[in-house]
Amino acid sequence: MARTPVVAGNWKMNFDHLEATYFVQKLAWTLRDANFDFKRCEVTLMPPFTSIRSVQVLIDADRLKLTYGAQAVSVTNQGAFTGDVSADMLARLGCSYVLVGHSERRKYHPEDDANIVDQVRAVLAAGMRPILCVGESFEERRQGIELEFAVGQVQDVIRDLSDKEAERMLIAYEPVWAIGTGMVATPESAQQAAAAIRSHLGEVYGEGVSDKVRILYGGSVNASNATQLMQEGRDIDGFLVGGASLDADEFATIARLTA
């Protein structure tokens, strides 16, 4: 079945709300000038919490076809959890997506599999879609177990989801060694990993579900390597982009190459 590709910009801890506003305007102008067809590729932004409201206001006011989401979420809905932000709060801000299990969150915060499962549940319950990030470290790749590792991470998180929940997931295959390093996976290995993940989804849920799940590649994607990754990647439905999403021109180019 035809899946609409998506290009998601993970801004990480960059841009204050004024810079975010400027970025969105510039991206929207650039895409408009290029006659960008949003039916062929969804473009979504993941600002830090502090800029989500500014991005929302601008997108709503100008009726832009961009979507947006958050980079993290609490597993609880409200209460005495200083510094946390709940899924309901994000949904009320119009977020469509939430990144879950990004390797930087797994590394710098106590986010283990059980916590990631709870985040996925919270995001789904609030009516948004989780983008589950998985991918091997350099060591697992060296041992040649990268596919088992990435598929295992997916398996650990999705095992108790219903079909309806599973088909609303997006999965980002992001080898940890490729994130922010300039070392991109070869198109063949990115495709292989995406195919292995899709095949696992097929085994658990059947093709009706696995055909619907969008699988993204992430890790040093830029305007120079996006075309090759998309061409090789029959199972790759777009990209999760970090560094290159901070430049509106380059991010727009990646979106055009993905559409």
Which residues participate in catalysis according to the annotation?
A: 102, 174
Residue 240 near ligand PEP by CB under 6 A: yes
Tell me the C-alpha to C-alpha distance, in Å, between residue 208 and each of 27, 142, 191. 35, 34, 20
DSSP letter at 37 equals: -
255 by Cβ neighbours in 10 Å (0-12 / 13-18 / 19+) ranks as buried
| DSSP conformation class of 129 | E
Please enumerate in sequence order all residues whose Cβ is within 8 A of that of 144, keeping only pairs 6 or more positions apart, or say none: none
Stretch that binds ligand PEP, among 16-24, 33-41, 228-236, 237-245 (CB under 6 A): 237-245
Q: By CB under 6 A, tell whether 59 contacts ligand PEP.
A: no
Residue 241 interacts with ligand PEP (CB under 6 A): yes or no = yes
Q: Does 218 bind ligand PEP (CB under 6 A)?
A: yes
Residue 44 CA: distances (Å) to CA of 36, 66, 135, 156: 14, 6, 21, 26
Q: What whole-number distance in Å separates Cα of residue 170 and Cα of residue 71?
A: 14
Is residue 44 a contact residue for ligand PEP (CB under 6 A)?
no
Task: For the CB of residue 220, give the shortest distance to ligand PEP in the complex, in Å.
Answer: 4
Nearer to ligand PEP, 10 or 67 (CB): 10
242 binds ligand PEP (CB under 6 A): yes
Q: Which is nearer to ligand PEP, 130 or 218 (CB)?
A: 218
- Report the interface residues with ligand PEP, using CB under 6 A: 10, 174, 179-180, 218-221, 240-244
